[in-house]
Amino acid sequence: MIRIKIRRFHARREPQELMQEWEVKEGSTLLEALTSIKCEKDPTLTFRSGCRSSVCGSCAVRVNGKEVLACAYKPEEGDLVEPRRFAKVIKDLAVDESEAFKTLKSAKAWLGEPKEDAVVTPEDEKRTERQSDCILCSSCYSACPVLETNPAFLGPFALTRDWRYVVDPREGDIKSKIDTIQRNGVWDCTLCGECTAVCPQGIDPKSDILMLRTKSTQMGHMDPNMGSFGSFGLDF
Amino acid sequence: MSDVLIIGGGGAGLCAAIAAKEAGVSVNVLGKTYPIRSQTSMAQGGINAALGNVGEDSIEAHIADTLRSAHTLGDENMIRRLCEKAPEAIGWLDSIGVPFSRLEGGRVAQRRLGGAGSERACYAQDYTGLKILHTLYDTALGMGVEFLDELFMLNFIVEEGRVLGVTAIDIGSGEVRAIGAKSVVVATGGYSGLYRGFTTNSSATTGDGTAAAVRAGCVLSDMEFVQFHPTALKRSGILISESARGAGGYLLNSKGERFIDELKPRDVVAKAIWEQIESGEDVYLDIRHLGEAFIEENLPQERKLAKLYEGVDPVIDLIPIKPVAHYTMGGIEVDSNHMTKIKGLFAAGECANAHVHGANRLGGNSLLETVVFGREAGEGAAQFAREHGSVTPASSGQFEKDRGFVAAIPQFTNQIDFYEKRDFMGKIFYRNVGIARSEMGLKGVLAAIRQMQKELPFMGIADKSMEFNTNLLEFIEFGNMVELAEIVLVSAIGRNESRGAHQREDFPAEDDEKFGGVHSLSWKEQGVLCNEFEGMR
């Protein structure tokens, strides 16, 4: 047996937040450990789960400050389990996912104007095979330090999904997608790579954002940081 | 209030939503999870269409294979429609951006799955369901479909034989709400969750919509037919894809002997494995001879999951496996327009029984059904909404009843642990309502389930809070499971023969004279379960 700590939260309890320690079986996944705590010891423990095999994206949490899928992580002695960041905690490890998901709509992450005669070659498909492996677990969103200072930032997964459609030969309106991600989008990223480090599917949002920057420049957009630098000089 | 309300945001629900939206009506999609969390994400193999992109194929061959696999319980007209519309369905998925694997020149790649006479399954690596589901979600967002996420449906609101909406718990707040609509599509998935601990399915696959439908007056049919997947990890029931055997993997017993042609249909292989295990053998999947390079390239998911859950590395170790529940053929009986017995209530996907899978589903046909029949159900619901307009419920009876029920659950005595009972149900279902069944075993489980029904008021919950109470939701799910368990058992006990996925040790032969083309029907009258075999001779 090993001991893990879980940060718990309940809006109507005093104190709202508390740290609880549990003994769990060594060698099982974190999701199995959470499930056995819930079913055998404390049914009030709250978390999301689903497929148990890393495709439904329900169970991402933070362990020792790093995002993991509970179903794909084996806890170790002393681990600290917490809810994901940049989402309101509803209860214990369950956070409000709706805000993060709104970025998909803001980024227009879908095929906008399908081209009828488009041909998708194996190379085209391979180009965004990884990106389309995304399970929307929000690990990258929770890991992104930009959201600490700019809650309106579109965040990694929405931008990756945008890139997946921007390079799709079937997309007939790349411009409006690129236009949408200029504000609170590609230029706000600090390229720190935290998103890439935590993605359970091995996706690299940082490099997708770099590609989107190049595309943006090609389509006549400018890095606003450069621009503001100029106006900085004029204003003062 | 919307024109069309969809319950469930998996493949069938999203296809229905998109089709209804295209038809020009307003659409809400309500689900207990976010759409992309649905069971559809777990579908790996592919989606069938006789495109002939790789090998020679024809729609007639697709129809014939599906009919054969259905063991006389398939409706040829429905199967014909499904297969004829399959190429157009792939075309549509392609047009909205599904990243299918491709052939040189850009055609969609296809591969052969068990029971198919040709390379018929279109796929996106081993993420076919995931990629279709996410693309559908993106498309629905782009079209302005409204999502009511994390609302748990309790019951349908029905007056004078017509559906007027549903009651649901808003999971975040715990409030019970009534949500009205001119028509409703239920697309809530199957009931493999009854086999808890012994299923490849998500823990959320508890048949909530199917249970609500039978409570509301719908007929359920062929509920005894549950498909078992031959190769799941022994400890967890996690799926090891058929592609491991397709690529040349062996099945071995404890003595290291092969005992079955690994490429036979699922029901045959599952049964052979079951017999080995029953005779005291352990069964393993052996892919060591395929080599590390091949495994890393083609079966990386399998390697990862085997390491994680069994602590073995398939490159050097045998993988311990067992067959587990994978797909439920039975479901809500629908007519050829996907409407249930209740006017305005449509059903599609795994929760429905549109008579295309019969006694045994063919790999690659379930995703196809979600797309083709999901869209048809959405179109049907949109048309119904336009033709019938809105009706204000005469009474708030259902809402009051369900709000009262949810408020009462925290008062249940909680002397019996339902989590323990839920695990127990999984175990006895697997042992006795699994691959090999007999009257004695089935009747024993039925007695246990009826006891659980009586004990429900003595079960209950420890978490008394309103917000995001998963203890409460799991208890309600358990209630739905108990409701469906009885129906599966009564149907399995009545079918005194072996057919497709329903294998009776005491009646080992397919009895066409008595049961050929005969469906089991189950419904409730004043809360009492009724069951008959339609037109049994």
Instruction: Verify whether the Cβ–Cβ distance B131 to A101 is below 8 Å.
Output: no
Q: pLDDT value at position B502?
A: 97
pLDDT exceeds cutoff 50 at B490: yes
Rounded CA gap, B125 and B163, in Å?
40
Chain A CB within 8 Å of residue B453 CB: no
Comma-separated ranges of CATH 1.20.58.100 domains in chain B: 397-511
Exposure letters A158-195 (e unless 16+ CB within 10 A, then b) = bbbbbbbbbbbebbeebeebbbbbbebbbbbbeeeebb
Q: pLDDT value at position A228?
A: 54
Comma-separated ranges of CATH 3.90.700.10 domains in chain B: 234-322
Point out the residue among A55, A108, A168 whose CB comes nearest to the CB of B130: A55
Point out the residue among A42, A51, A170 whose CB comes nearest to the CB of B202: A51
Q: pLDDT value at position A143?
A: 98
Helix and strand totals (H; E) in chain A: 10, 7
Q: Counting one residue from A and one from B, how many pairs have CB atoms under 8 Å apart?
A: 152
- DSSP, collapsed to helix, strand or coil, labels residue B374 as helix
- List A114's β-bridge partners, or say none: A171
Whether the Cβ atoms of residue B194 and residue B485 lie closer than 8 Å to each other: yes
Chain A CB within 8 Å of residue B144 CB: no
- What angle, rounded to 10 degrees, do the helices at B128-143 and B11-22 form? 30
Q: Which of residues 383-422 of B touch A (CB under 8 A)?
A: 419-420
Give mean pLDDT, residues A152-156. Answer: 97
Rounded CA gap, B461 and B224, in Å?
31
Chain A closest CA to B98's CA: distance in Å?
Answer: 9
Rounded CA gap, B43 and B249, in Å?
20
Q: Which residues of B touch A164 (CB under 8 A)?
A: 99
Give mean pLDDT, residues B502-530. Answer: 97
Chain B CB within 8 Å of residue A210 CB: no
Q: Which residues of A touch B461 (CB under 8 A)?
A: 43
Q: pLDDT value at position A227?
A: 59
Chain A: residue whose CA lies nearest to B200: A51
Spot the catalytic one: B71, B81, B120, B229: B229
What's the pLDDT tens digit per position in B160-184? Answer: 999 999 999 999 999 999 999 999 9
Give mean pLDDT, residues B509-518. Answer: 96
Residue with tokens 């940081």: A225
Q: pLDDT value at position B245?
A: 87
The fold of B234-322 is Flavocytochrome C3; Chain A, domain 1 (3.90.700)
Q: Which residues of B touch A168 (CB under 8 A)?
A: 97, 99
Rounded CA gap, A154 and B455, in Å?
50
pLDDT exceeds cutoff 50 at A233: no
Whether the Cβ atoms of residue B73 and residue B223 lie closer than 8 Å to each other: no
Categorize the per-residue pLDDT at A236 as very low, low, confident or very high, splitting at 50, 70 and 90.
Answer: very low
Catalytic residue list contains B177: no
Q: Which residues of B touch A161 (CB under 8 A)?
A: 138
Q: Which residues of A touch B324 (CB under 8 A)?
A: none
pLDDT exceeds cutoff 50 at A175: yes
What's the pLDDT tens digit per position in B129-164? Answer: 999 999 999 999 999 999 999 999 999 999 999 999
Whether the Cβ atoms of residue B173 and residue B29 lie closer than 8 Å to each other: no
Q: The tokens of B452 are what?
A: 């659980």
Instruction: Verify whether the Cβ–Cβ distance A38 to B141 is below 8 Å.
Output: no
Chain A closest CA to B276's CA: distance in Å?
Answer: 27
Give mean pLDDT, residues A103-114. Answer: 96
Rounded CA gap, A49 and A58, in Å?
5
Point out the residue among A72, A116, A119 whose CB comes nearest to the CB of B106: A119
Query: Does B397-511 carry CATH code 1.20.58.100?
Result: yes
Whether the Cβ atoms of residue B249 and residue B285 lie closer than 8 Å to each other: yes
What's the pLDDT tens digit per position in B57-92? Answer: 999 999 999 999 999 999 999 999 999 999 999 999
Chain A closest CA to B237's CA: distance in Å?
Answer: 10
Beta-carbon contacts of A193 under 8 Å, excluding residues fewer than 6 positions away, are A206
Beta-carbon contacts of B1 under 8 Å, excluding residues fewer than 6 positions away, are B165, B179, B180, B181, B390
Whether the Cβ atoms of residue A199 and residue A139 lie closer than 8 Å to each other: yes
User: Which is more confidently placed, A85 or A235?
Assistant: A85
- DSSP, collapsed to helix, strand or coil, labels residue A105 as helix
Instruction: Verify whether the Cβ–Cβ distance A72 to B125 is below 8 Å.
Output: no
Whether the Cβ atoms of residue B44 and residue B50 lie closer than 8 Å to each other: no
Chain B: residue whose CA lies nearest to A108: B142
What's the pLDDT tens digit per position in B419-434? Answer: 999 999 999 999 999 9
Instruction: Verify whether the Cβ–Cβ distance A124 to B102 is below 8 Å.
Output: yes
Chain A closest CA to B424's CA: distance in Å?
Answer: 13
Catalytic residue list contains B229: yes
pLDDT exceeds cutoff 50 at A214: yes
Nearest to B286 by CA among B265, B266, B268, B302: B302
Instruction: Verify whether the Cβ–Cβ distance A110 to B127 is below 8 Å.
Output: no
